[in-house]
């Protein structure tokens, strides 16, 4: 040990490389190592100059004078199986997934003085995006956070107030969906690294847009991953200290399930979740397929329940709720369980703010894609509309497209309707009908990148968004913008669309129409009537029940020819509700609605 350059400083908190005024303090967990050194630029990569001191519970720590921000480094572990050169599991930045760790000054970024207020959850409109394909500047290269910033004004103009970023953590190569994180604390180098992500968060907040981050804790890797057998120890040929080393390691992505029972691994995952919310000012986390955190087989089999995974999720959600009650955690579980979003004070409640809803996307997509009207089941649409979790309309995220729904053998909704020819009447009409339901149904609506551009084919991490489509399909973009502004009550006459309450007026399985009121309070300008026609037939004189008498104005008509030159065969006008029971309502009126269309009506506030 060279004691003129290194000293143990066990009082310093933190893992990884922590900058100090005169150097860097390093700490790593390697319980089976016999000795540990840190090497890097600061030692001209001499491996044995800076030996670390053994602490309790298998931790090693030391201080390297004159090490600084931007220095590259690695740990040298002497183990019973030989010498290992390892990247830092807590590294905030890497040169690349097979390169070196980089010392990162987490306090140097200038956040400015602007404050950001998270929208209330019932007012969220989420746009899911993939940094590598969202705004590509150079052909053959992925996009990055800086190029994504350029499109934030477009999203603001669209009405989006939250973006969900697919996992941007260091992964092998330059192209990936992100669900193969090699280093979960490091932002992908191809995306610009940690400062680029902070710049994106800052810019989004300046535009009034929240940032939600997709995190992956059900597995790590499985490749380019120094976590694997990190300090040489393992059992059964499995992953070593960070992973289960028995049958519980098995996942659809390899034997790479973290060991949720080890205190150090639990801390590692908890530290990661809180880091994004605290240091990067992210507004929420979406956790990928938590069913594989709570059950080995990703189902409800009692013999493979992972109780340690359940308690880890409860710990993280408990801390988030205590420190940042306005920030949201969203689960992808897709097993339709209230327990996922039930409070931590309830039996088996995991405490998530919301969960992706399989009971919405699957029946709604099926109805939109079905070739023949007789195959559209309006009772399934009703069930999708009225599904709730934990007694709250906004405990679910609803969508017709997500990264999973537009790949892996599936395509964009418009592509599924008319393969290779999305610019046709059927594709455009039904895609617009679907997004109208997403933005008027109870739940937190989500749009996958490019839906408003009528993107075709399927999602690929090498196929960037074609921004020329903004001009080509500017009417379709406007359709999305108008719906979002109604959802968010821009004109103070559709507040009901963000209310807790939904009252179904009619489910017409013969004519394939569903009509429902959305409201928070039963007052004019709050109650909002939505009528969706899932059939190829239009109706000029369709009588329906109304909650209040008087003039009901058309606020939105998806068949308007301003949205597409192929639309507009029907003249849909304001209507007067008069006395007379209909659909169990005291008043009634006739409406006109075009094929495969949505209309939204409300009354002016008094």
Q: Provide the 3-class DSSP secondary structure of residue 306.
A: coil
Please tell me the predicted confidence (pLDDT) of residue 13.
Answer: 66
Place of tokens 């290992």: 84
Cβ contact 599:591 at 8 Å: yes
The pLDDT of residue 373 is above 50: yes
Q: What is the pLDDT of residue 2?
A: 41
pLDDT above 90 (res 28): yes
The number of beta carbons lying within 10 Å of the beta carbon of residue 548 is 18
User: pLDDT-based confidence at 419, cuts 50/70/90?
Assistant: confident
Question: Could you tell me what percent of the chain has a pLDDT over 90?
Answer: 95
Find the helix or strand (DSSP H, E) in which 601 lies: strand 597-602
The token pair that represents 511 in the structure block: 């004519």
Structure tokens at 122: 């019932």
Q: Tell me the mean pLDDT in the region 100-107.
A: 97
pLDDT in tens, 333-342: 999 999 999 9
Q: Which residues contact 56 (CB under 8 A, 6 or more apart)?
A: none
Distance CA 517, CA 586 (A): 14
Q: Region 6-26: what's the mean pLDDT? A: 77
3-class secondary-structure state, position 129? strand
Task: Give the Cα separation of 209 and 555 in Å (integer).
Answer: 25
Q: What is the pLDDT of residues 165-202, one digit of tens each?
A: 999 999 999 999 999 999 999 999 999 999 999 999 99
C-alpha 194: how far from chain center = 19
Flag whether pLDDT at 388 surpasses 70. Answer: yes
**pLDDT tens digits, one per residue of 439-476:** 999 999 999 999 999 999 999 999 999 999 999 999 99
pLDDT over threshold 80, residue 345: yes
**Longest distance between any two alpha carbons in the chain, whole Å:** 92
Q: Is residue 10 scored above 80 in pLDDT?
A: no
The residue among 14 and 59 whose pLDDT is bigger is: 59
Torsion-angle region of 301 (φ positive above 0: left; ψ -120 to 50: alpha; else: beta): beta
Q: Which residues contact 156 (CB under 8 A, 6 or more apart)?
A: 207, 208, 209
Please name each of the domains of the chain with its CATH number. 6-102 (2.60.40.10), 495-602 (2.60.40.1180)
State the pLDDT at residue 420: 81
Q: What does the pLDDT average to over 102-110?
A: 96
- Report d(CA 344, CA 140) in Å as an integer: 47
Q: Looking at residue 297, what is its pLDDT?
A: 95
Residue 383 contacts by C-beta under 8 Å, 6 or more apart in sequence? 359, 363
Over residues 192-217, the mean pLDDT reads 98
The answer to whether the CB of 25 falls within 8 A of the CB of 38 is no
3-state helix, strand, coil in the chain (%, to 5): 25, 25, 50
Q: Give the pLDDT confidence of 39-72 residue by residue, as tens digits.
A: 999 999 999 999 999 999 999 999 999 999 999 9
pLDDT digits (tens, 9 = 90+) for 245-279: 999 999 999 999 999 999 999 999 999 999 999 99
Encode pLDDT of 477-524 as tens digits: 999 999 999 999 999 999 999 999 999 999 999 999 999 999 998 888
Predicted confidence (pLDDT) at residue 580 exceeds the cutoff of 70? yes
Categorize the per-residue pLDDT at 209 as very low, low, confident or very high, splitting at 50, 70 and 90. Answer: very high
Residue 6, pLDDT > 70, answer no
> Alpha-carbon distance 219 to 236, whole Å?
18
Q: In the 8-state DSSP scheme, what is residue 119? A: P
Q: Are 182 and 221 in contact (CB under 8 A)?
A: yes
Nearest partner of 478 among 411, 564, 388, judged by Cα: 564
Among 165, 182, 198, 208, residue whose Cα is nearest residue 279: 198
DSSP letters for 138-188: STTS---HHHHHTTHHHHHHHT--EEEEPP-EE-SSS---S-S-SEEEEE-
For the beta carbon of residue 456, count every other beta carbon within 10 angstroms: 19
Looking at residue 606, what is its pLDDT?
Answer: 78
How many C-beta atoms lie closer than 10 Å to residue 98's C-beta?
A: 14
Dump pLDDT digits (tens) for 285-305: 999 999 999 999 998 888 999
pLDDT average, residue stretch 27-44: 98
Query: Exposure pattern of 246-269 as b/e (b: 16+ CB <10 Å)?
Result: eebbbbebbbbbbbbebebbbebb
Can you tell me the distance from the alpha carbon of 457 to that of 529, in angstroms, rounded to the nearest whole number? Answer: 34
Q: Is 376 helix (H, G, I), strand (E, B) or coil?
A: coil
Which of 146-150, 297-301, 355-359 is predicted least confidently?
297-301
- For residue 9, the model assigns a pLDDT of 40
């Amino acid at each position: 040990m060279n004691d003129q350059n290194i000293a143990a400083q066990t009082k310093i908190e933190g893992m990884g490389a922590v900058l100090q005024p005169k150097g860097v303090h390093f700490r790593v967990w390697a319980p089976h190592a016999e000795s540990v050194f840190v090497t890097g630029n600061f030692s001209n990569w001499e491996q044995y100059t800076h030996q670390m001191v053994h602490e309790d519970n298998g931790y090693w720590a030391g201080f390297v004078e004159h090490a600084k921000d931007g220095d590259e480094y690695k740990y040298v572990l002497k183990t019973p199986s030989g010498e290992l050169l390892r990247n830092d599991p807590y590294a905030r930045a890497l040169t690349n997934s097979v390169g070196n760790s980089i010392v990162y000054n987490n306090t140097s970024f200038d956040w400015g003085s602007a404050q950001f207020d998270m929208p209330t959850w019932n007012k969220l409109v989420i746009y899911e995006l993939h940094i590598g394909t969202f705004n590509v500047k150079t052909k053959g290269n992925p996009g990055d956070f800086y190029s994504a910033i350029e499109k934030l004004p477009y999203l603001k103009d669209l009405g989006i107030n939250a973006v969900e970023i697919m996992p941007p953590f260091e992964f092998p190569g330059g192209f990936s969906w992100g669900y193969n994180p090699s280093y979960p604390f490091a932002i992908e180098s191809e995306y610009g690294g940690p400062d680029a992500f902070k710049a994106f968060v800052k810019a989004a907040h300046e535009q009034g847009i929240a940032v939600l981050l997709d995190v992956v804790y059900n597995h790590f890797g499985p490749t380019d991953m120094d976590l694997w057998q990190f300090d040489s120890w393992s059992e059964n040929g499995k992953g070593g200290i960070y992973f289960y080393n028995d049958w519980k390691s098995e996942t659809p992505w390899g034997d790479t399930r973290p060991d949720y029972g080890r205190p150090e691994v639990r801390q590692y995952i908890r530290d990661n979740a809180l880091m994004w919310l605290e240091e990067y000012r992210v507004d929420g986390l979406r956790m990928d397929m938590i069913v594989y955190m709570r059950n080995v087989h990703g189902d409800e089999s009692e013999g493979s329940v992972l109780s340690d995974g359940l308690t880890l999720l409860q710990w993280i959600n408990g801390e988030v709720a205590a420190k940042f009650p306005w920030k949201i955690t969203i689960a992808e579980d897709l097993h339709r369980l209230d327990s996922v979003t039930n409070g931590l004070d309830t039996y088996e409640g995991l405490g998530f703010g919301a969960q992706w809803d399989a009971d919405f996307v699957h029946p709604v997509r099926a109805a939109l894609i079905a070739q023949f009207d007789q195959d559209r089941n309006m009772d399934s649409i009703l069930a999708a509309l009225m599904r709730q979790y934990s007694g709250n309309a906004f405990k679910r995220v609803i969508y017709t497209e997500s990264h999973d729904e537009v790949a892996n053998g599936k395509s964009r909704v418009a592509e599924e309707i008319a393969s290779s020819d999305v610019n046709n009447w059927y594709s455009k009409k039904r895609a617009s009908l679907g997004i109208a339901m997403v933005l008027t149904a109870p739940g937190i609506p989500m749009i996958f990148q490019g839906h408003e551009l009528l993107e075709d084919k399927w999602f690929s991490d090498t196929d960037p968004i074609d921004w020329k489509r903004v001009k080509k399909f500017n009417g379709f973009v406007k359709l999305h913008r108008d719906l979002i502004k109604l959802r968010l009550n821009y004109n103070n006459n559709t507040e009901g669309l963000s209310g807790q309450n939904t009252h179904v007026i009619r489910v017409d399985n013969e004519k394939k129409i569903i009509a429902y009121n959305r409201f928070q309070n039963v007052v004019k300008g709050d109650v909002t009537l939505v009528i969706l026609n899932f059939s190829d037939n239009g109706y000029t004189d369709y009588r329906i029940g109304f909650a209040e008498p008087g003039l009901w104005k058309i606020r939105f008509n998806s068949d308007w020819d301003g949205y597409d030159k192929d639309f507009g065969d029907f003249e849909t006008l304001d209507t007067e509700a008069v006395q007379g029971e209909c659909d169990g309502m005291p008043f009634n009126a006739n409406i006109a609605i075009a094929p495969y269309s949505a209309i939204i009506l409300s009354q002016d506030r008094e």
